[in-house]
Structure 1
Amino acid sequence: MGSRAYIQLPVIDFSVLNDQNANTRVWDSVKTEVFKALQEYGCFQATIAGMTPELQKSVYGAMNQLFHLPFETKSKNICTRMFHGYVGSSSQLPLYESMGIDEPFIEKQVENFTNLMWPQGNPQVCKDICIYSKKLLELDVMVKKMVFESLNLEHRFDEHLELTSYVLKLMKYRVPEPNESDLGLHEHADTGIMTILHQNDVEGLEIQTKEDEWFKVKLSPNLFIVMVAETLNVSNIKNTVWLNGRLHVPFHRVLIRQKKVRFSLGLFALPKMGNLLESMEEMVDKEHPLLYKPFDYDEFIKFLLGGRQGKEKYAVKAYCGVLN
């Protein structure tokens, strides 16, 4: 059953940092808010400068057109990484459908996608998706830089960015039939590095607190939800999500209660393929012993899809915890 109450997530204004971070005092103030929010909730809501209503209307209008395309067209959206391309509804998730664009801030990548969907081309949609994605990328980079600074890991930040890839996921949830469940997306913790989500016109996102209580996230077209994923804690920052909880990784889900199609967007930061992930040596000491063995992210996803997680709440711990 869905929650009736709304969670009061911190709202952090990133538009004040639009001036090349010239004001160190302002940067440090926002950084403190960010780190505190990620420790307590594992997420927060952010405002982004320049994310105009016109830009959002264009991108969401394009999504509406995309999901009305024939299945044969949508299925051309393929990718070597699982779940990055077109994902149709299934018996497990009958309400859910999604498409993906890798490195969506690179114009050629978006152009390849739009040309597949619209053979005649769609330059305006291509341009707007690029602009939209670049703004989400800027937010992603700022947040992670603040986390690295908070943990005195500034010297590892550029290395981290070099090992990060991105996918923009366009998501649709249809209205459930009278005899269907309202579950749009089952409860889970994101397995990548960091996620930025936006719900446009229809609510549905719910977040679980540290006390295992579920709360709804109130819809606000001008706010973007920044969320920690499992790999950020394990391999790139601090392996203490199950020890002292330096950062919290929140479980979340989507429930569809309104009689209206729900569209949402997410920029997912993920480890690049072909790299072995391991905890940073600076983050391992007597007080914080090594908890996770080095692992390959794509092999980990195969493990997760194989249903071998068992009763362990967090998938990465089940896959590569040193005690497993």
Structure 2
Amino acid sequence: MAHLQSAAMPMKVPVIDIFDESSNSKPGSDAWMSKCKDVRAAFEQYGCFLATCDKVSLQLQDDVFLSLQQLFHLPTQIKVQNTSEKPYFGYFKHPCIPLSESMGIDNPTILQGAQGFTSLMWPNGNKTFCESIHAYSKLVSELDRMVKRMVFESYGVGKYYDSHIESTEYLLRMLNYRVPREDEREIDACPDHTDKSFMTILHDNEVAGLQIKTKDGDWIGVEPSGSTFLVMAGDALLAWSNGRIHSPIHRVITTEAGKERYSLAFFSFSGETIRTPKELVDEAHPQLFKPFQNMDLLRLYSLDDVQKYVDFISQAKCGA
């Protein structure tokens, strides 16, 4: 059940139990459709929600975050070998964002994807890292698919779900936010941004810092928990939904002194052309975006020339 706030309560990200095993919550049931509406409402109001998911055991989480510590403690000359032709799919560290460092695994749900990355970092192998990252990615991809099915069905366009999933490409970004020095206390660990993905699922080592900006301009903190995963809409999902779904601005601030923050960002990108279903276009909801490619959006965002990205977004909007 989604915990949506009343006006008298402080703003919090809604919590939804996605994998309810009760027999009355199976796809097609009234309980299922009710949950689909909860997911849709959370996306439309907040652009995100916290999904309770016990499929990823606490032991697996411990193994993954221990593996991340080992990964980021490797020499820089090894980490920079994580390269990709796709922007933000490889090693990333920027002087303007001094507190963070990140790496990426393309297609982590496929064993070869996890093995290829592991061999690059540890030529002699690291079985624990490879197995834990691969297992984690497969389980989180189940959450990704379930949420998308709920979104598609809530809008009455479930017939497009299978082709979307078949075209989906996954990226697992592993992020490390180091402890700031005294003169870095005012620096955001990760500045304000929206994701260019279709959907993102975030999880951390229970160190606070992630904040979501509401439509009203208020920042609300996301309470870290081993039993919840933040499911967030990206700009591609906003366009697909014809502007119904909100793609939230978010950031990471430094809040817990002396604690390193490790985070896993599981991105999904559509391999299909992002095109608003005709069922979501009517007189009350005229088409807002022209069709575009998800990866084109990401590539243009990665350019230093901000104007090119702004021009792309403008051209993607109908009537531009």
* TM-score, normalized by the shorter chain, greater than 0.5: yes
Using the TM superposition, give the Cα deviation of residue 290 of structure 1 relative to its aligned residue in structure 2, in angstroms. 2.1
Using the TM superposition, give the Cα deviation of residue 253 of structure 1 relative to its aligned residue in structure 2, in angstroms. 0.5
Unaligned runs of 5+ in 2: 1-8
Distance in 1, matches of 2:35 and 2:133, equals: 27
Using the TM superposition, give the Cα deviation of residue 229 of structure 1 relative to its aligned residue in structure 2, in angstroms. 0.8
Map 1:166-181 to 2 at 5 A.
166-180=170-184, 181=186
Contact 1:195/1:266 (8 A) holds in 2: yes
Residue identity opposite 1:226 in structure 2: V
Using the TM superposition, give the Cα deviation of residue 52 of structure 1 relative to its aligned residue in structure 2, in angstroms. 1.3
Map 1:101-250 to 2 at 5 A.
101-180=105-184, 181-235=186-240, 238-239=241-242, 241=243, 246-250=244-248
Using the TM superposition, give the Cα deviation of residue 7 of structure 1 relative to its aligned residue in structure 2, in angstroms. 4.2
Residue identity opposite 1:178 in structure 2: E
Residues 207-233 of structure 1, C-alpha deviations (whole Å, 9 max, x = no match): 011111111111212110001111012
Structure 1 residue aligned with 2:290: 293
| 1:179 counterpart SS class | helix
| 2:20 counterpart SS class | helix
Unaligned runs of 5+ in 1: none
Cα–Cα, structure 1 residues 288 and 6, in superposed 2: closer, same or farther, change >3 Å? Answer: closer
Using the TM superposition, give the Cα deviation of residue 68 of structure 1 relative to its aligned residue in structure 2, in angstroms. 0.5
| 1:36 counterpart SS class | helix
Distance in 1, matches of 2:54 and 2:35, equals: 15
Structure 1 residue aligned with 2:4: none
Residues 52-86 of structure 1, C-alpha deviations (whole Å, 9 max, x = no match): 11100100000000000011111111112101111
Structure 2 residue aligned with 1:24: 29
Cα–Cα, structure 1 residues 206 and 140, in superposed 2: closer, same or farther, change >3 Å? Answer: same
Contact 2:212/2:222 (8 A) holds in 1: yes
Query: Structure 1 length as normaliser, TM-score?
Result: 0.88
Contact 1:300/1:319 (8 A) holds in 2: no
Residue identity opposite 2:316 in structure 1: C
Distance in 2, matches of 1:72 and 1:255, equals: 28
Structure 1 residue aligned with 2:60: 55
Query: Structure 2 length as normaliser, TM-score?
Result: 0.89
Distance in 2, matches of 1:316 and 1:168, equals: 26
Distance in 1, matches of 2:145 and 2:317, equals: 28
Using the TM superposition, give the Cα deviation of residue 17 of structure 1 relative to its aligned residue in structure 2, in angstroms. 3.9
Residue identity opposite 2:261 in structure 1: R
Using the TM superposition, give the Cα deviation of residue 316 of structure 1 relative to its aligned residue in structure 2, in angstroms. 6.9
Distance in 2, matches of 1:103 and 1:16, equals: 27
Using the TM superposition, give the Cα deviation of residue 285 of structure 1 relative to its aligned residue in structure 2, in angstroms. 2.6
The match for 1:86 among 79, 91, 94 is 91
Distance in 1, matches of 2:27 and 2:277, equals: 30
| 2:50 counterpart SS class | strand
Residues 142-179 of structure 1, C-alpha deviations (whole Å, 9 max, x = no match): 10101100111011111111222110110001122211
Contact 2:196/2:297 (8 A) holds in 1: no
Cα–Cα, structure 1 residues 216 and 309, in superposed 2: closer, same or farther, change >3 Å? Answer: farther
